[in-house]
Amino acid sequence: MFDRHFLEHFDWWLFLSVLLLMVIGFVNLNSGSAATGYPFQWKQLQWYIAGSALMLSLVIFFDYRLLAVYSVHIYLIMVFMLILIVFLGKTVGGSQRWLSLGFINIQPSELAKLATVIVVSSYFYHDDKPQYGLMDLWRPALLMLVPIFLIYQQPDLGTAIFLVFIFASLVYMARLKWTSFLLLLGSAIAAFPLVWEFLKPYQRNRIMEYLFPGKDPLGAGYHILQSKIAIGSGQILGKGYMKGSQAHLNFLPEVHTDFAFSIWAEEWGWVGAVFLIGIFFLMLYRGFLIASQSRERFGAFLAFGITAMFLWQIVINIGMVMGLMPVVGIPLPLISYGGSSVFITLMGVGLLLNVRLRRFMFQKGTKTR
């Protein structure tokens, strides 16, 4: 595989965007670490290196079509790990989301994001229809309800909703009938009062603060208020590297995870924020281009689903820290601190590069749509 064709067809623009995001992530965490007093950036660097090695290994030595063959096994492993959380999960910050392997903690809900893309893509690959109605979706929807329920119980409402977004994106790719879409949307709106009853008090507070900004500035709305102050105070060119007052004076919480974009915008201003979003745009553009150019149905679904996964993470995280969405704890790809998130993101990129390279190996007669 590693020959002139590899160098010729390798997506260097996608690879460059990922490298730039890792550089920005390290620089940003270095500032955030100075604010928190813990060297997050060095652990993140180790994950960047290990994840990059895994990414390139997936590109060179792995055929992504094997994922469709073993999708059932991937699904069962995902569910098994989520069930293990119930009995052996490590509780941090009031949520039981991590499995401790001694030398490292892993977050199965992060693994579930990529597993969902693989499993649902495999389903639509094997169940080839020109269009889908609601009755055609009960099997994959039922499959997804299991991990969604287990993740919600951790509790992790944000990731549970995120899996719904991934599923909906792949349903869009599969072509849902408009009548079915409108019926589904109406049902979701009608079901909101019922869903509200199952939410925990802190989850309701986050939604209320989103709907009524400033209602509780010292309580549920404190984090978002400080985040908006940080982003706004950066103005055009920012306050300068390591000079973000909101983060370094401990007004802004979780600067290494949920609010990583806030400290970046405060220190680098509007110009830095637009530059970062531009790199994300390049990454997403290359991903959707790979999906559109795939000559094989599973590859098209896989690439689209992975790129949609990145898209929703970016939109939700940046929207969250700007007060445009409720706070749900979705990491910003390669910018937020976290080994599980870094590994899943780089594995996803590796699979995108894999689909891109192997499309040149397929003849036009391969099963496509």
**pLDDT on residue 189:** 77
Q: For residue 86, what are its two tokens?
A: 């119930």
In a domain, 368, yes or no: no
Query: What pTM did the predictor assign?
Result: 0.89
Inside any domain, residue 111: yes
- Top pLDDT among 364 and 224 is at 224
Give me the mean pLDDT over the 113-136 stretch: 88
**CA atoms of 219 and 217, how far apart (whole Å):** 6
pLDDT of residue 369: 41
364 — pLDDT class (breaks 50, 70, 90): very low
Helix (H, G, I), strand (E, B) or coil at 238: coil
- For residue 212, the model assigns a pLDDT of 67
pLDDT of res. 214: 64
114: left (phi over 0), alpha (psi -120 to 50) or beta: alpha
Residue 369, in any domain of the structure: no
Total tally of structural domains belonging to the chain: 1
Highest average pLDDT, of 59-63, 161-165, 256-260, comes from 161-165
Mean pLDDT is lowest, of 116-125, 216-225, 283-292, for 216-225
Rounded to the nearest 10 degrees, the angle between the axes of helix 339-358 and helix 12-36 is: 170
Per-residue pLDDT reduced to its tens digit, 333-343: 999 998 889 99
Cα–Cα distance for residue pair 327/233, rounded to 1 Å: 21
**Average pLDDT taken over every residue of the chain:** 85
In tens, the pLDDT along 229-240 reads 889 888 999 999
Among all chains, which residue has been given the structure tokens 């201003």? Answer: 269
| Better-predicted residue by pLDDT, 130 or 43 | 43
Q: Above 70 in pLDDT, residue 187?
A: yes
- Tokens encoding 227: 């985040």
The better pLDDT of the pair 101, 269 is held by: 269
- From CA 23, how far away is CA 321, in angstroms rounded? 21
**Band (4; pLDDT cuts 50, 70, 90):** low
Tell me: cis bond preceding 155? Omega within 30 of 0 counts: yes
pLDDT band at residue 29 under the 50/70/90 scheme = very high
Residue 175 has pLDDT above 90, yes or no: no
- How far apart are alpha carbons 144 and 142 in whole angstroms? 5
pLDDT at residue 222 in the model: 75
What is the pLDDT, as a whole number, of residue 15?
A: 95
In DSSP notation, 37-71 reads TS-HHHHHHHHHHHHHHHHHHHHHH--TTHHHHTH
104 has a pLDDT exceeding 50: yes
* C-alpha closest to that of 59 among 353, 359, 362: 353
Asked if residues 238 and 267 have their Cβ atoms less than 8 Å apart, the reply is yes
The mean pLDDT of 324-348, rounded to a whole number, is 90
Provide the pLDDT confidence category of residue 132 given band limits of 50, 70 and 90: confident
Does the structure show a pLDDT above 60 at 1?
Answer: no
The more confident residue out of 144 and 329 is 144
Angle (CA) 162-331-335 rounded to 5° is 145
CA-closest candidate to residue 252, choices 219, 230, 221, 268: 230
In angstroms, how far is the first alpha carbon of the chain from the final one? 26
**Domain annotation covers residue 8:** yes
Given this model, what pLDDT does residue 106 score?
Answer: 84
DSSP string covering 269-338: HHHHHHHHHHHHHHHHHHHHHHHHH-SSHHHHHHHHHHHHHHHHHHHHHHHHHTTSS----PPPTTTS--
Beta strand segments in the chain, E: 90-92, 95-100, 105-106
**Cα angle for residues 120, 193, 329 (degrees, 5° grid):** 55
Higher pLDDT, 304 or 98: 304
pLDDT of the residue at 94? 63
Q: Which tokens is 220 given?
A: 């549920």
Residues 6+ apart with CB under 8 A from 281: none
Quick one: average pLDDT of 140-168?
89
pLDDT score recorded for residue 5: 64
Confidence of residue 116 (pLDDT cuts 50, 70, 90): very high
Structural domain includes residue 366:
no
**Percent residues over pLDDT 90 in the chain:** 46
Whole domain around residue 148: which residue ranges? 4-361
Predicted local distance difference test score (pLDDT) of residue 220: 59
